[in-house]
Structure 1
Amino acid sequence: MKLQHNLGGLEGLDPINVETKVFVEPWEKRIFGIHTAMMALSNQLGSSPPKYAIEKVPTKFKSFWTWGHLRMGAEAMHPFEYFRLRYYEKWLGGISGFFVSEGYITQAELDTRTAEFLADSQKSAAPLPSGGSPAIDAQVTKYLREGDSPMRPLPAPPKFREGDQVRVKDVNSADHSRLPGNLKGKVAKVVRVYEGAFTYFFPTKDGIGTPMPVYSLVFKPEDLWEESLIDPNSVYYNDIFEVYLEAV
């Protein structure tokens, strides 16, 4: 399991960043906008609710891109790099790597352009490219307003009910996971069974991807952390996909 999958079980990750600004540097707004536009133009939107007429949008971006892909790109980093880089630097690395892997640019082109900007700081202040397409703008705006839903009809009744005791499986998280590493092997109580089934953006090696129930679980903090680190009157909740759970 990669270190960045297990943050909830680690101590001493100082210094803690108490930055209150959402965007610290101007380029962070830009990378957020790029990611949002990629989601709004992703090729799966023609089949996920609500359906978009994505095939009619005149975009050269023809790939599948979601929050999950962005998260997977960050988790694929070397742990030392993951902790060294700022939040939007991880985004920038994941998105840049995706454009290389999908063939939109080459690694050589990316390296050359990066070297140019590092050598001439004035380039970063140059005007942005002009132009664009009103149809693309309309699609991005529509997506920002309506989004896309991971909820699907239940393929089968949920395995667990409210009040059941369950154990979190010790699954191999591989390259990408939605299961916090410090919960593996821990016992919890089901406090809510969410309505419907939830799909993940793409299949992962640890079992999510197809529509399945999701449960809200309550854990005892003393089962997760040292006594000196917890408030004795607190409880801890986490929403977990069904494939990660087994009956006690």
Structure 2
Amino acid sequence: MKLQHYLGGLENLDPVNFETKVFVEPWEERIFGIHTAMMALSNHLDAALPAYEIDQVPTEFKSFWTWGHLRQGAEGMHPFEYFRLRYYEKWLGGISSFFVAEGYITQAELEARTAAFLADSEKADAPLPSSGDAAIDAQVVKYLTEGDSPLRPDSVTPRFQVGDRVRVKNVVSGDHTRLPGHIRGRVAEVVKVYEGAFTYFFPTTDGLGTPMPVYSLAFKPADIWEEALIDPNSVYYNDIFEVYLEAIESGEDHAE
């Protein structure tokens, strides 16, 4: 288990970056744009909500790419590298590795292009070329406007109801997880059952895959953090997939 799976709720992760700009460097805008275009042209959109006729878009990008894949790439990094790199540098590393793995470019070609850009700053600052195809541009704009959703209209019966006490499972994560590390093994109260069934962009080895209910849980901060770090009158909320929860048996309502 890599440390970056457990960032939420950890203390002493100083220094804290209070940068308010979305993009600090011009190249960061490009990385965001590349990632967005990849999502807009991803082959999973033929079965996404809303409906897209992605097979009619004349793109050479034929792979499956989502926010989940981007996060998986970051979580798969060595922790030292993860904390050393800037936010969009992590994106760049994940995207670059993906293109190599998918066969769009070889590692040698990537290194050669990188060296060329580093040696010529004018190349690095040059405007990005247009796709040259109105259908591709229209698809990217449509995706930016409408997006895609893991929500599914499947009919499922929630296992838990508002007021139930549940424990968050302490499951072993793989390359990617949607379960925060600091609430594993903790007890909470169900305060909301969201309507509909939700799935993730792709199956994870710790249980996500088929559509399922999602719950809003209320935790007592004292059950998670040291007393000196909390406001005794506060409540901590987290939205969790059903697969990560288990029922509390009578007489065992305590955190591990």
How many angstroms does 1:109 deviate by? Answer: 0.7
Aligned length: 248
Partner of 1:169: 169
Q: Please, which runs of 5 or more residues in structure 2 have no aligned partner?
A: 249-256
Aligned equivalents of 1:175, 1:140: Cα separation in 2:
28
TM-score w.r.t. length of structure 2: 0.94
Tell me which residue corresponds to 2:8.
8
CA distance in 1, matches of 2:43, 2:238: 31
Residue pairs, 1:92-171, within 5 angstroms: 92-130=92-130, 132-171=132-171
**TM-superposed deviation, 1:129:** 2.6
Provide the alpha-carbon RMSD of the alignment: 1.2
Decide whether aligned partners of structure 1 residues 131 and 243 sit closer, same or farther in structure 2, where only a CA change above 3 A counts. closer
Contact 1:167 1:187 in 2 (8 A): yes
Cα distance in 1 between the residues matched to 2:147 and 2:98:
22
1:49 positional shift: 1.5
Deviation per residue, 1:56-96 (Å, 9 max, x gap): 10100001111000110100000111111111111111111
Q: Matched residues in 1 for 2:141 and 2:44: separation?
A: 17
In structure 1, how many angstroms separate the alpha carbons of the residues matched to 2:224 and 2:3? 17
Asked if the contact 1:155/1:211 (under 8 Å) is kept, the reply is: no
Distance 1:155 1:173 in 2: 27
C-alpha distance 162-28 of structure 1, shift in aligned 2 (>3 A): same
CA distance in 1, matches of 2:184, 2:209: 19
Q: Cα deviations across residues 144-168 of structure 1 (Å, max 9, x unaligned)?
A: 1111121113443010000000000
Partners in 1 of 2:99 and 2:71 — Cα distance?
15
- Runs ≥4 residues deviating over 6 A: none
Secondary structure in structure 1 of the residue aligned to 2:192: strand
Give the secondary-structure state (helix, strand or coil) at the position aligned to 2:140: helix
Spell out, residue by residue over 1:181-219, the C-alpha distance to the aligned partner (whole angstroms, 9 max, x if none).
111100000000000000101111000021100000000
> Unpaired segments of 5 or more residues in structure 1?
none
Identity %: 77
One-letter code of the match for 2:197?
A: A
Q: Which residue of 2 aligns with 1:62?
A: 62
Partner Cα separation in structure 1 for residue 106 and residue 29 of structure 2: 24
Question: C-alpha separation between the residues in 1 aligned to 2:53 and 2:228?
Answer: 55
